[in-house]
Amino acid sequence: MATGQVRIRVPDGVKAGDVVTVRVLVTHPMEVLRMEGGKPVEKNYNFIHRMAATYNGKTVFEAETTQAVSQNPFFSFPVKVTEPGKLQIQFEDTEGRSYTGETDIKF
Amino acid sequence: MKHQRMWIVGLAAAAFATVQAADFVDTNQSRATPEAQGGIVDGKQKRYAGPPFGGVPNDWSEWPGYRDDKPYPAPQQATLPADLKGDADNGRKLYMSRAKAPCTGCHLIRGDDVWPAGNVSTDHQQIGDRYATPEAEAVLYQYIYDSRVINPQSFMPPWGTVGILSPQEIVDIIAFLKTQRGPLPEEKDPARNPNTRPLPENYFGDNLDPTNNAAVVLAEGAIDTWTRQGPKGKSCADCHGEIEKMQGIAAQYPKYFPLYRRVMSMEDLVAWHGADETGLELPSQGAENIHLALLIRMQSNGMPVAVDIESPEAKAAYERGKALYYQRVGQRNHACADCHDADRGGGKFLGGRLLGKKTDGMTRHFPTLRTNFAQIWDMRKRMQWCMTPLGMNYLPADAVEYAEIELYLTSFDNGKPISAPGMRH
């Protein structure tokens, strides 16, 4: 699977002042914690650990996730929109790679 | 001269026979994952012994199945034992006991704790008024013990004859049923009564939205399988090209293949043709198999189902599938038709579950996400799970019997659009 595809869904028919629910998913593996001799193996496990959403350049949502985040994690959050614009969502994994997706919210 | 001609005919026939033999792949030896092949361990059905299925791991080997003609007990006359006294409270417990049936799966009784009740069969809320005399009680006893004696068309399992309910238990249930009399109490919750319960519709939102249905992204991941070269040096893509070229293909499945001399679903074809050509291991109901079959099927989303049931081979398979659909099997002597024909249980509630009607089509959303198991199920796993209420051990996932039943069911979807993966609870 192509890693790092960001899929964003916003509702149609948005009006100024509406609170819209943004749904976003990124395709990404989640490396499972390995145990050896009863102890967790100390290494840099690969999973999504940060996401941030900006609307017209202004940060509207940020999240930090830990080992418990799933494969292909899905986030949903509300945003109040007063003007049409560009929603950008960036994910970052523990190996430092980042994946960005964007969509337009039209009125 | 005559001899010579016969020789030629003989030679031609022999040559034809060899070609046929080389061109035939026998699918009798199942290629399903060990779990999907069934099997009994320590007297339990392996798959259902553990979570999330715990509860019905019974071994039903002694009862007739699709593949054997074990005899089913003949209808048995039963007389109400005069020396037994019924305990109505215990009868109510038995009536609701999941380990016994439960009776509430098909019949409705009074009480707010009766949840969820079904309406496949008659409403019992006033049965006590109708069966008040001792003669009527004897009829009731016979009906529960073995209904086939009174009504050969009945599809209620013969609870006494197969030993699920003992005579004492039946007497207890009759004592309880006699308490179901008089005017009906007011319903507090319209959802309690299956006749007034609202139907669940489009429960989960858009099933093709990857942010809504986790199966979409998993299936898209199968592009790796599609393009991966197996030990034979070929990948699916080497012969078939881009996955988009599969558009419309899945609408024709299940389809008859002369090479296998049977109908194959997409999952069967991935397990046999896909594995044979590439050398990859793609066992039926393995994750790769289901994801790849789903990816191929997704290319036909929105297109109408168009399975062939006209050609002689397909027609014969369709007729066999239809016969299997109506064949009574298992401990409970049920057929698929008992739940899915509109004149029996189709479109009604079995407990809390709304039973699908075969005429609405039941296959075009498969493989589907089962939200309660967090698993993608293909049609076959759904069918194997259906064997549980029949009281029959399931067949291997790639069994030809399932393929033929699937063809029969899919024929009702003809002309309706494919929408896979679906979402079901």
Q: What is the pLDDT of residues B127-179, one digit of tens each?
A: 999 998 889 999 999 999 999 999 998 999 999 999 999 999 999 999 999 99
Pairing, β A39-40 against β A48-55: unpaired
Q: Which two tokens stand for residue A6?
A: 């960001």
**Cα B144 to Cα B147: distance, rounded to the nearest angstrom:** 6
User: Cα-flanking dihedrals φ and ψ of residue A44, to 5°?
Assistant: -85, 100
Do B294 and B342 sit in the same domain of this protein?
A: yes
The ipTM assigned to this model is: 0.81
Mutation choice for B interface testing from A30, A72, A76, A89 by most B CBs within 10 A: A72
**Cα B17 to Cα B339: distance, rounded to the nearest angstrom:** 44
| pTM metric for this prediction | 0.88
Give the contacts of B270 (CB within 8 A, at least 6 positions apart). Answer: B282, B289, B292, B293, B296
Task: Round the average pLDDT of chain B to a whole number and report it.
Answer: 90
The beta-carbon neighbor of B221 closest among A1, A74, A76 is A1
Residue B5's SS3 state is helix
The beta-carbon neighbor of B209 closest among A2, A9, A76 is A9
The beta-carbon neighbor of A25 closest among B217, B221, B223 is B217
Task: Determine the distance in angstroms separating the CA of A34 from the nearest CA of chain B, rounded to an integer.
Answer: 22
Cα dihedral: B342, B346, B348, B350 (round 10): 150
State the residue range of the domain holding B310: 24-59+205-425
Q: Is A72 on the interface with B (CB under 8 A)?
A: yes
pLDDT of residue A67: 87
Task: Determine the distance in angstroms separating the CA of B204 from the nearest CA of chain A, rounded to an integer.
Answer: 15
Q: Is A74 on the interface with B (CB under 8 A)?
A: yes
Task: State pLDDT tens for residues B337-353.
Answer: 999 999 999 999 998 88
Pairing, β B349-350 against β B262-264: unpaired
**Cβ-based contacts under 8 A for chains A and B:** 28
Do B118 and B217 sit in the same domain of this protein?
A: no
Q: Is A103 on the interface with B (CB under 8 A)?
A: no
Q: B14 in a domain, yes or no?
A: no
Do B94 and B222 sit in the same domain of this protein?
A: no
Please tell me the total count of domains within chain B.
2
- Listed by start position, the domains of chain A span 6-31+43-105
Do B276 and B365 sit in the same domain of this protein?
A: yes
Task: Determine the distance in angstroms separating the CA of A107 from the nearest CA of chain B, rounded to an integer.
Answer: 22
Distance of CA A43 to the CA centre of its chain: 23
**Cα B226 to Cα B243: distance, rounded to the nearest angstrom:** 8
Do B42 and B146 sit in the same domain of this protein?
A: no
**Cα B142 to Cα B150: distance, rounded to the nearest angstrom:** 8
Q: If you average pLDDT over residues B289-311, what whole number do you get?
A: 96
Do B216 and B327 sit in the same domain of this protein?
A: yes
For the domain A6-31+43-105, what is the CATH code?
2.60.40.10
Q: B133 in a domain, yes or no?
A: yes
User: How many residues make up chain B in this entry?
Assistant: 425
Instruction: Give me the percent of chain A exceeding a pLDDT of 90.
Output: 78
